Amino acid sequence: MPDDVPLEGPPRRMTPYGTADSEPGAGASGSHAWEASRAWEALFAVALAVAIFSVILDSDVPAWARATTITLLLLCTIAYLLLGRPAIREGDDDDSGRRLLYWALILLAFVPASIISQPASFTLFALCPQAFMMLRLRTAVIAVLLLNFAPGVQFAVRGETSVTELAIFVVTAAIGATFALIFGPWIVRIIKQSAERAHLIEELRASRIEVARLSAERGALAERARLAGEIHDTLAQGFTSIIMLIQAAEAQADPSRHLALAVRTARENLAEARALIAELAPVPLDGSSLEEALRRVTGRLGEELGINASFTVEGASVPLSPSTEVVFIRAAQEGLANVRKHASASSVAVSLRYGETGATLTVHDNGVGFRADDDAQGFGLRSMRTRVEQEGGTFAIESSPGRGAALTVTMHRKSGV
């Protein structure tokens, strides 16, 4: 997995501004949620502007009191810009000194401002949500209650307070605190869920990248295995045939026939190599039908070994897909190569039988045979079995010591062919 995707460790709790380990409002290092939550800053700016404008219009307090209140509100703004906002953006912990200092300054500035001029309380619309975004739930609740009820000390300072004024303040503060305590955690929880989804989407993206990487690796391994099979079925077999022909020529008084066959085999091998590089159709099929190609490779083996090699076709010929024809020609080459290298046979028969649902290729020899189990099969037969099964066909070997061998490949017709 990519290095930036966590694989272990306890699950991380998401907050409006990233991840945390406890209550709503814990800080984190992610900036994505902050960029998506500019509305909180807009709310702060609007609430502050309304509060200052209302204080200016408050004719019940003298000018010096209005100036003091506005100054205290501006101090709240400066504290937010210098302490609160950086603490959120940089993902400070809930109990970090910067956050605690910010809220201490907010209480010291806002409470006197709201006592001097009640319209300053409009700032609560911004401060209460901030409490839930920046503090642990319990600390945020305490801060919200202090912001709403601390201004009540003005009634103790005055000495003489009417019951009506006190009741209005208590009801107003209670309503404000109630709304903050209900909607604050609710809104933060919604933002937290959104951040969790963003985190899951990021993990999904990383997982998809990993799946793509693994698929590419698997594809590369499959292609490597395919090329290994192609090289084994073409070049390696061709070189083996050339070596055997040259060795046979050395033992003959007139080596011309064997040398001619060796030259022809070398040329075909060269053509196979070029076709393999260019990803063209197999050379034995190039410009000829499947029957002609099978008849040619069978006849060449008979010429090389000086044995009886026959090819027959049974049933009415039906169109086969190019991939099916490739499988048949490769299977015939593999079967005949094994006859050349191991069978010591005096005859070999290759047959192609067409049926209603497909075709079957059989390569049968009367050689020494072998144990037809998976452990006794070499790379070529295992590779051929894989190739056939990948194309949806069946592959079978029947053999026993002293009784020859029969290779059978059955391929079903594909739809649309």
Q: Among residues 188, 211, 234, which one ends one of the domains?
A: 211
Q: Among residues 157, 191, 211, which one ends one of the domains?
A: 211
Q: What is the pLDDT of residue 409?
A: 93
pLDDT category of residue 407 using cuts at 50, 70 and 90: very high
Please indicate, yes or no, whether residues 301 and 394 belong to a single structural domain of this protein: yes
Q: What is the pLDDT of residue 377?
A: 63
Residue 217 clears pLDDT 70, i.e. is over it: yes
Average pLDDT on 335-355 reads 88
Q: Which residues of 390-402 are buried (b: 16+ CB within 10 A; e: fewer)?
A: ebebebebebeee
4-8, 87-91, 355-359: segment of lowest average pLDDT: 4-8
Residue 18 clears pLDDT 60, i.e. is over it: no
For the beta carbon of residue 382, count every other beta carbon within 10 angstroms.
Answer: 13
For residue 275, is it within any domain?
Answer: no
Q: Which DSSP letter does residue 12 get?
A: P
Q: What is the pLDDT of residue 344?
A: 86
51-60, 210-219, 223-232: segment of lowest average pLDDT: 223-232
Q: What is the CA radius of gyration of the chain?
A: 43
For residue 241, is it within any domain?
Answer: no
Please indicate, yes or no, whether residues 19 and 165 belong to a single structural domain of this protein: yes
Q: Which residues constitute the domain of residue 417? A: 290-417
110-114, 257-261, 377-381: segment of lowest average pLDDT: 377-381
Taking a C-beta distance cutoff of 8 angstroms, is the pair 367, 344 a contact?
Answer: yes
Q: What is the pLDDT of residue 223?
A: 64
For residue 236, is it within any domain?
Answer: no
Residue 31 clears pLDDT 50, i.e. is over it: no
Please indicate, yes or no, whether residues 306 and 182 belong to a single structural domain of this protein: no
Average pLDDT on 324-344 reads 86
For residue 227, is it within any domain?
Answer: no
Between CA 148 and CA 126 the distance in angstroms is: 12
For residue 274, is it within any domain?
Answer: no
For residue 280, is it within any domain?
Answer: no
The pLDDT tens digits of the residues spanning 123-176 come to: 888 887 778 777 777 777 888 887 777 776 666 665 565 666 666 666 766 776
Q: Are strands 308-314 and 347-354 parallel, antiparallel or unpaired?
A: parallel
What percentage of the chain carries pLDDT values higher than 90? 9
79-88, 99-108, 195-204, 284-293: segment of lowest average pLDDT: 284-293
For residue 89, is it within any domain?
Answer: yes
Taking a C-beta distance cutoff of 8 angstroms, is the pair 188, 25 a contact?
Answer: yes
Q: What is the pLDDT of residue 364?
A: 92
Q: What is the pLDDT of residue 390?
A: 85
Q: Which residues of 100-113 are buried (b: 16+ CB within 10 A; e: fewer)?
A: bebbebbbebbbbb
Average pLDDT on 58-67 reads 84
- Token pair of 383, please? 């590779």
Q: What is the pLDDT of residue 349?
A: 93
Please indicate, yes or no, whether residues 178 and 299 belong to a single structural domain of this protein: no
Please indicate, yes or no, whether residues 205 and 318 belong to a single structural domain of this protein: no
CATH number of the domain to which 310 belongs: 3.30.565.10
pTM given for the model: 0.40
Q: What is the pLDDT of residue 1?
A: 38
Between CA 250 and CA 137 the distance in angstroms is: 95
Instruction: Look at 213 and 396; give whichever has higher pLDDT.
Output: 396
Q: What is the pLDDT of residue 375?
A: 53
Average pLDDT on 270-288 reads 59
The pLDDT tens digits of the residues spanning 361-397 come to: 999 999 888 876 655 566 677 878 888 888 889 999 8
Between CA 205 and CA 330 the distance in angstroms is: 42
Count of structural domains within the chain: 2
Average pLDDT on 335-363 reads 89
Please indicate, yes or no, whether residues 95 and 189 belong to a single structural domain of this protein: yes
Instruction: Look at 107 and 230; give whichever has higher pLDDT.
Output: 107
* CB within 8 Å of 100: residues ≥ 6 apart: none
Q: What is the pLDDT of residue 15?
A: 42
Taking a C-beta distance cutoff of 8 angstroms, is the pair 337, 310 a contact?
Answer: no
Please indicate, yes or no, whether residues 62 and 204 belong to a single structural domain of this protein: yes
For the beta carbon of residue 173, count every other beta carbon within 10 angstroms.
Answer: 19
Please indicate, yes or no, whether residues 201 and 318 belong to a single structural domain of this protein: no
Most confident of 29-38, 83-92, 94-103, 333-342: 333-342
Instruction: Look at 339 and 268; give whichever has higher pLDDT.
Output: 339
Alpha helices in 80-162 (DSSP H): 85-89, 97-116, 124-134, 137-149, 153-158
Q: Among residues 163, 188, 211, which one ends one of the domains?
A: 211
Please indicate, yes or no, whether residues 164 and 297 belong to a single structural domain of this protein: no
Edge-to-edge strand ranges of the sheet holding 358-365: 308-314, 347-354, 358-365, 405-412, 394-399
Taking a C-beta distance cutoff of 8 angstroms, is the pair 144, 133 a contact?
Answer: no
For the beta carbon of residue 134, count every other beta carbon within 10 angstroms.
Answer: 26
Between CA 42 and CA 288 the distance in angstroms is: 77
Instruction: Look at 34 and 258; give whichever has higher pLDDT.
Output: 258
Residue 323 clears pLDDT 80, i.e. is over it: yes
Average pLDDT taken over every residue of the chain: 75
Please indicate, yes or no, whether residues 172 and 312 belong to a single structural domain of this protein: no
Average pLDDT on 95-118 reads 84
Residue type, 95: D
- The string of DSSP codes covering 367-386 is S-----SGGG--HHHHHHHH
What percentage of the chain carries pLDDT values higher than 70? 71
Please indicate, yes or no, whether residues 136 and 28 belong to a single structural domain of this protein: yes
Residue 17 clears pLDDT 80, i.e. is over it: no
Between CA 31 and CA 16 the distance in angstroms is: 10
Taking a C-beta distance cutoff of 8 angstroms, is the pair 17, 92 a contact?
Answer: no
Residue 22 clears pLDDT 50, i.e. is over it: no
For residue 283, is it within any domain?
Answer: no
pLDDT category of residue 8 using cuts at 50, 70 and 90: very low
Residue 414 clears pLDDT 80, i.e. is over it: no
pLDDT category of residue 350 using cuts at 50, 70 and 90: very high
